[in-house]
Amino acid sequence: MLEISNLKKSYKSGNSNLQVLRNLSLKVEEGEFVSIMGSSGSGKSTLLNCICRYIDYESGLINLKGNDIGKFTEEDLATMRNTNIGFIFQDYMLLDGLNLIENTCVPSIISKMKKTNTMYESMEEKAKNLLNLFGLAEKMDSFPAELSGGQRQRVSIARSLINSPDIILADEPTGNLDSKSANEVIDSFTRIKKDLNTSILMVTHDMYYASYSDKVFILNKGEISKVLVNKGNRKELQDEIVEAFANMDRS
């Protein structure tokens, strides 16, 4: 589904060059829920930005569903961002003036460019189904300001799914939430994986939530230094994450 090989990305500032991703390779299979963990500044957001080509990278290959995205035109990229990839952000990024149904429809409206009545009706139906799936049936006509943080994040999850993407990129989706709301978000991810077979790539600092994923990639010194596989025991996976970070500190 998503395969990255030998990705290199650096930032130039003045005369200095900061090499953030040196030789990063990873693979996400269809329907797989994976987490990326790494210390602050290790390049997690940079990686997500390279995957959707919001920023360019120097070398390496990013292959999404068999297509080298490095070769995409601006038009291909716009289509990919609207149809193949769903986005979830730490601070939800909902539009205050739109109710939940309208917020959920936003990527669909963008991808279809022109909104006809029949098109909007079918979009609206899909938005309602998604909001229902994530426990927001009673709130559909509400506005973001009337919701809790956890409810807002569930709207953004519904929005990320409106165009039936192949993969969801989630940047610290539980970062602003209390533990009950964060658990609901992770529950939603496991439901998406099970019911829709959509892949999820989540950046997180929290090993408790990472331990719900199938695999945890540890990002260190610009590359994936360790791949931890969930063998069905979340406690064991959390212990392995602690150990990976301890080894990182020692080195």
Stretch that binds ligand ATP, among 13-21, 23-31, 191-199, 220-228 (CB under 6 A): 13-21
| DSSP per residue, 150-204 | HHHHHHHHHHHHTT--SEEEEESTTTTS-HHHHHHHHHHHHHIIIII--EEEEE-
Among 39, 1, 37, 46, residue whose Cα is nearest residue 19: 46
The number of residues that bind ligand ATP (CB under 6 A) is 12
Q: Contacting ligand ATP (CB under 6 A), which of 13, 15, 16, 116?
A: 13
Identity of the residue, 91 or 236, whose beta carbon is nearer to ligand ATP in the bound complex: 91
Identity of the residue, 18 or 110, whose beta carbon is nearer to ligand ATP in the bound complex: 18
Q: Contacting ligand ATP (CB under 6 A), which of 35, 37, 38, 152?
A: 38
Q: Cα(79)–Cα(94) distance, rounded to whole angstroms?
A: 21
The 10 Å CB-count burial string (b at 16+, else e) for 136-146 is beebbeebbee
Among 169, 156, 168, 167, residue whose Cα is nearest residue 47: 169
- Give me the 18-37 binding string for ligand ATP, x by CB under 6 A, dash otherwise: x-x-----------------
Among 62, 77, 19, 13, residue whose Cα is nearest residue 223: 19
Site for ligand ATP contains 46 (CB under 6 A): yes
Q: CB 7 → ligand ATP: shortest distance, Å?
A: 12
Identity of the residue, 112 or 205, whose beta carbon is nearer to ligand ATP in the bound complex: 205
Site for ligand ATP contains 17 (CB under 6 A): no
Binding site for ligand ATP (CB under 6 A): 11, 13, 18, 20, 38, 40-46
